[in-house]
Every structure is written in structure tokens, then in C-alpha cells.
Amino acid sequence: MRAFLKIIRFKNILLLALMQITFHFGFLKLQNIALALNDWQFILLVFSTICIAGAGYLINNVFDQETDQINKPNDVVVGKNMSETTAYNLYIILNVLGVGTGFYLSNSIGKPSFAALFIVIAATLYLYASSLKQSLLVGNILIALLAAISVIIVGLFDLYPTITVENKPVVATYFEIILDYAFFAFLINFIRELVKDLEDVKGDYNTGMATLPIILGVKRTSKLVFGLSLIPIIILFYYINNYYFNNKLYFATLYAYILIVAPLLYFSIKMWTSKSQKEFHHLSTVLKIVLFFGILSILVITLNIKYNA
């Protein structure tokens, strides 16, 4: 069990589940609108998502054995604590559970075409692990997009099937908020993927990968990541001042500045001087913390609005 939890990156899986649960129970359920999924159906949506994501992490570990032996020898599972045959069997089981549950949910809300989304995500994660991550920036963008889709899928299943002429403006507003968070998730995850490439540059070089640090060098890539990290900071300053502070959401404003903007500023400052694998690993963890508090901010904002009312 320990090997299984390790290979599916259970901490990342929990963060993904928390993200979806927070948007459903901590945002949409607190609004005066009808949702397409009831609570147990939504739990099935989370189950489907984490099964497919877990399968993606698992197959990535299978293909990354050589690289991980160099970059993270203590974290190697396949070939050490689990055979390749077992890993492939678990990969198939997780995908069948995930895609099958997604197929059921899509039909239960009267949108059978949505089932294709789960198939495409599962197939994309396989392609990423087997080949796409070796292409310059393609893998980084792909993983960041999939993180954003994990947010958007909540809106697709909870809101989209309920749209009528009467509620369209209200539903559109909530969907726009979800898209804003999806864009934030994309930016932070894209930057984090580049930081992980900096962390793993030695193993990636020895296995013939074409990541940005290998093409540009660690120093230049670090400076590029520093520049990219300023983008979400600038966007957040604008967003917080215009949507939180100007609407007297003072607690949400304070929360965002202390727990989201401040860690991002710390990340940017440290990124400028970081050089070692240990430093890059630390910065990757900082971005994970930013994602965690960024997810919870939707609940804080919702409660702040209700308190003001």
C-alpha cells in the first residue's frame, strides 16, 4: 500500500481532490443556484478525476525509471518495490475505474459527449509520459492545462447542464470565476513544471530529454522563470484590489496578500539566486503551498461576502 500511495503521488492527488471539493462545497453549494450533480454524484466525479490522475502519475513513473534513478534514487518504486507488470495492471485498473465513472456521470446528467473528456485526459497523460514530455515545453504546457481542466470540469458538470434562459447571466458569472481560478492554476503549474525541470536537469540530460534548462542552461532558465513568476503577482495585485478590496472584502484581501501574494514574492526573490537541486525542490514546494491557499481562497471569499451581507 505504501508503494502504491507513493507511486500515484498521493499528496498531489489529495490537493487535486481538495481543489474540486472546495469549489463544489465551498463555493457553488453556498450560492442560491441549482446544481446538476448531487453530493454523492460529485464525490464520484472527484473519484473519477483522482483515478485518472493517479494512473497518469503511475505510468509516468514506469517511463521515468532511468531518470529517477539519477534524480531521485530514494523515491524509485517501479523495479524496486513494485514490478512493472503490477504497475501496468494498476494503471489499467485506475483508468477503467476513472473513465467508467466519468462515462456514468456524463450520461446521468444528460451529456453523454462529456465522457470523451475523460478518455482524452487519460490518453493525453499516457502520451505525455511516453513521448510528449521529451519535447521542449510541450509537456510543461500540457500538464498545466490538465490542472486547469481539473478546475473547469467542476463547472462543466455542476453548472453547464443547468443553464436556462433565465439563469444564464448568473451561471455565466460563476463560470467566469471558475475560469479565473483555472487560469491561475495553469500559470502556477506551468511555472512549477519549469522549476521541476531545473530540479531534474541532471537526470533529464543523461536520458536525452530536451527540457528548457538543457536547451538554455540552468542560469538562463532560472532568470526566465523569475520573469514568468512576476506575471501572476501583477495579475493578483490587480484582481485583489479591483474585486476584493473595492468590494470591501477586507478579510479576503488580507488572506490573499499574506498567504498567496507574499509566498509568490518570496518565490520570485529566491528564484533569482537559486542554483542547486535542493533550492529548486524547495521552490517547487512553495508553489504547491501557493496552490493550496489559492484553492481555499474561493471559500474565504464566499464566506466574506456572506458575512458582509
Per residue in 281-306, pLDDT (tens digit) is 999 999 999 999 999 999 999 999 88
> pLDDT-based confidence at 1, cuts 50/70/90?
low
Percent share of the chain, pLDDT over 90:
57
Is the predicted pLDDT of residue 202 greater than 70, yes or no?
yes
**For residues 106 and 83, what is the distance between their CA atoms, to the nearest angstrom?**
34
> What confidence score (pLDDT) does residue 9 get?
79
Mean pLDDT for 239-247 is 91
Is the predicted pLDDT of residue 79 greater than 70, yes or no?
no
**For residues 117 and 18, what is the distance between their CA atoms, to the nearest angstrom?**
21
Q: What is the pLDDT of residues 158-195, one digit of tens each?
A: 999 888 888 889 899 999 999 999 999 999 999 999 99
Beta bridge partners of 78: 82
The reply to whether the predicted model has a pTM over 0.85 is yes
Give, in order, the Cα–Cα distances in Å from 264 to each of 22, 127, 129, 195, 274: 22, 31, 29, 14, 15
Percent share of the chain, pLDDT over 70:
91
